[in-house]
Amino acid sequence: MTVGVVIRMADAKQVVEREWQAYIQHDLDSLLEVYAEGAVLTVPDSPPAEGREAIGQVWKGFLDAFPDDSPTVERILVDGDTVIVEFRSDQTNSGPLLLPSGETLPATGRRIAFQGISISDVEDGRITRETFYWDSVLFATQLGLMPEEREGL
């Protein structure tokens, strides 16, 4: 492994760490700075958001719906210019949430907790593609959008 590869890997990790720190601090401007102009963000149950403006709308929607969201990064793995983050989140839905159907869910006041991962591709110091994975059924159930599982069924 060459020194250049080690430096590039550290840079990719630092970019993603800056992204998470900006999100945790609810600093949307700093958050969007880490994305390339043509970046693509995919979160569960939503079409991909293409470009900084669309990505900003996604993150603003989450921060408005869950203003106390402060995810915990459990670990970060780096493979070249790809960074994988394992995280957990515990938050309250105290603002309106735009649903994939286009409808707006009024604040439920419900607490939700889940774990997930993100996979980010970094080029030239910016995120070019990022995909989040979490249990959508658990997320929707905790919000009251789906019935809870009943034991014995």
- pLDDT recorded at residue 99: 82
pTM over 0.75: yes
In-domain check, residue 150: no
- Three-state SS at 58: helix
Domain count for the chain, please give it.
1
In-domain check, residue 88: yes
Q: Tens digit of pLDDT for each residue in 38-50?
A: 999 999 989 999 9
Q: Secondary structure of the chain: what % helix, strand, coil (to 5)?
A: 35, 35, 30
How far is Cα 124 from Cα 12, in angstroms, rounded to an integer?
A: 9
Q: Which domain holds residue 52?
A: 3-143
How far is Cα 96 from Cα 142, in angstroms, rounded to an integer?
A: 15
- pLDDT recorded at residue 2: 47
- pLDDT recorded at residue 9: 52
In-domain check, residue 117: yes
In-domain check, residue 148: no
In which element (H, E) is residue 13 found? helix 3-24
For the domain that residue 39 is a member of, what is the CATH number? 3.10.450.50
Q: Which residues of the chain carry a pLDDT beneath 50?
A: 1-7
In which element (H, E) is residue 105 found? strand 104-105
Question: Do residues 40 and 129 make contact, with C-beta atoms less than 8 angstroms apart?
Answer: yes
In-domain check, residue 10: yes
- pLDDT recorded at residue 85: 98
In-domain check, residue 153: no
- pLDDT recorded at residue 10: 52
In-domain check, residue 151: no
